[in-house]
Amino acid sequence: MLSRFRGRDLGFRIGTGAFAAVIVVIVAGIGFELWRQSALSLQKFGFAFWLGDIWDPVSGEFGAKPFIWGTLYSSILALALATPISLGIAIFLSELCPARFRLPLTFLTELLAAIPSIVYGLWGIFVLVPAVRSFEQALPQALRATPLFSGPAVGVGMLSAVLILAIMVIPFTSSVAREVLKAVPNAQREAAYALGATKWEAIRAALFYARTGIIGSIILGFGRALGETMAVTIILSVSGVVTFNLISQANPSTIAANIALNFPDSSGIKINALIATGLVLFAITLVTNFIARAIISRSNVQ
**Which tens digit of pLDDT belongs to each residue from 3-13?**
555 656 777 78
Residues in a beta bridge with 259? none
Whether 270 contacts 177, CB under 8 Å? no
Please determine, for residue 80, whether its predicted confidence score (pLDDT) is greater than 90.
Answer: yes
Question: What 3-state class would DSSP assign to 137?
Answer: helix
As a whole number of angstroms, the distance between CA 87 and CA 214 comes to 8
pLDDT-wise least confident of 25-29, 118-122, 294-298: 294-298
Cβ–Cβ under 8 Å, residues 237 and 148: no
SS3 at position 251:
coil
Q: What DSSP letter does each residue of 152-210 carry, written as one string?
A: ---S-SHHHHHHHHHHHHHHHHHHHHHHHHHTS-HHHHHHHHHTT--HHHHHHHHHHHT
188, 214, 197, 186: which is closest to 88 by C-alpha? Answer: 214
Model-level pTM? 0.86
Rounded CA-CA distance 184/204 in Å is: 12
Give the whole-angstrom CA distance, residue 213 versus residue 210. 6
Please provide the average confidence, as pLDDT, over all residues in the chain. 84
Q: Is the pLDDT of residue 211 over 90?
A: no
At residue 185, the pLDDT reads 86
Architecture (CATH level 2) of domain 48-301: Orthogonal Bundle (1.10)
**Banded pLDDT at 91 (limits 50, 70, 90):** very high
* Radius of gyration for the chain, computed over Cα atoms and rounded to the nearest angstrom: 23
CB neighbour class for 11 (10 Å; exposed up to 12, middle 13-18, buried from 19) = exposed
% residues pLDDT > 70 (the chain): 93
Per-residue pLDDT, 238: 65
pLDDT of 299 > 80? The answer is no
Cβ burial, residue 269 (10 Å; 0-12/13-18/19+): middle
The number of beta carbons lying within 10 Å of the beta carbon of residue 160 is 29
Dump pLDDT digits (tens) for 26-50: 989 998 999 988 888 888 888 788 8
3-class SS at 263? coil
Least confident range from 109-118, 144-153, 175-184: namely: 144-153
Q: Which residues in the chain belong to E strands, given as ranges?
A: 55-56, 61-62
* Pairwise pLDDT comparison (68 vs 249), residue with the higher score: 68
pLDDT of residue 301: 45
pLDDT average, residue stretch 261-289: 85
pLDDT over threshold 80, residue 109: yes
